[in-house]
């Protein structure tokens, strides 16, 4: 008998046999693994890669740029909560102002403004500019949105806790 067979004396037929209880135990351990994962997220103090700092750690509002410096149909990149929290300010062709987190809700690539909608170059995802909802590609969740305010002094300010936008009639700030 080969050496490895004496070390693992299990027949192939026995190897594939799995009782209901053994399967249930495996599933229970998987469940415990999920709990461990949530516990790790709870105990971890530092934000995950790509995640912003907690909502209380950022200024309530931010002065982004002068309105006259951003022509219709153009965008401006800025950071909001911390250096990793990249956001994008858009002056839409209709003359409206929108600001979103630049992180795609699929796998976290940076979305970019193409003059009509926000596109993710990684997997060809796209988001409409009105509310940030996905309209093409793999993303299923909308972009996080900031409130934009154009003040009398000509500066564009953003503020908010980056809540998920909701469809009109469902409540929220959309």
Binding positions for other proteins, rule: CB under 8 A: 20-21, 23-25, 27-32, 34-35, 37-39, 41-42, 47-48, 50-55, 81, 85, 108, 141, 144, 161-162, 164
> Closer CB to other proteins, residue 47 or residue 73?
47
For the CB of residue 42, give the shortest distance to other proteins in the complex, in Å: 5
The conformation of residue 72, written as its DSSP 8-state character, comes to T
> Closer CB to other proteins, residue 58 or residue 98?
58
The conformation of residue 57, written as its DSSP 8-state character, comes to G
For the CB of residue 95, give the shortest distance to other proteins in the complex, in Å: 29
For the CB of residue 161, give the shortest distance to other proteins in the complex, in Å: 8
Sign of the CA dihedral running 98, 166, 125, 145: positive
Half-sphere exposure of 171 (CA within 13 A, CB side): 1
- Residue 87's CB: how many other CB atoms inside 10 A? 24
Query: Which pair of structure tokens corresponds to residue 40?
Result: 């790790």
> Closer CB to other proteins, residue 85 or residue 119?
85
> Closer CB to other proteins, residue 91 or residue 139?
139
Scan for tokens 């809700």, then name that residue: 105
């Amino acid at each position: 008998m080969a050496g490895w067979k004496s070390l693992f004396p299990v027949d192939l037929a026995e190897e594939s046999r799995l009782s209901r209880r053994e399967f249930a135990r495996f599933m229970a351990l998987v469940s415990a693994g999920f709990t461990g994962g949530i516990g790790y997220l709870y105990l971890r103090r530092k934000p995950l890669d790509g995640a912003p700092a907690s909502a209380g750690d950022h200024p309530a509002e931010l002065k982004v740029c002068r309105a006259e410096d951003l022509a219709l149909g153009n965008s401006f990149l800025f950071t909001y909560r911390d250096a990793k929290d990249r956001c994008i300010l858009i002056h839409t062709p209709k003359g409206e102002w929108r600001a979103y987190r630049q992180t795609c809700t699929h796998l976290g690539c940076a979305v970019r403004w193409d003059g009509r909608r926000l596109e993710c170059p990684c997997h060809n995802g796209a988001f409409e500019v009105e509310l940030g909802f996905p309209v093409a590609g793999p993303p299923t969740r909308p972009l996080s949105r900031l409130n934009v305010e154009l003040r009398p002094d000509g500066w564009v300010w953003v503020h908010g806790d980056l809540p998920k936008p909701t469809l009109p009639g469902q409540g929220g700030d959309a």
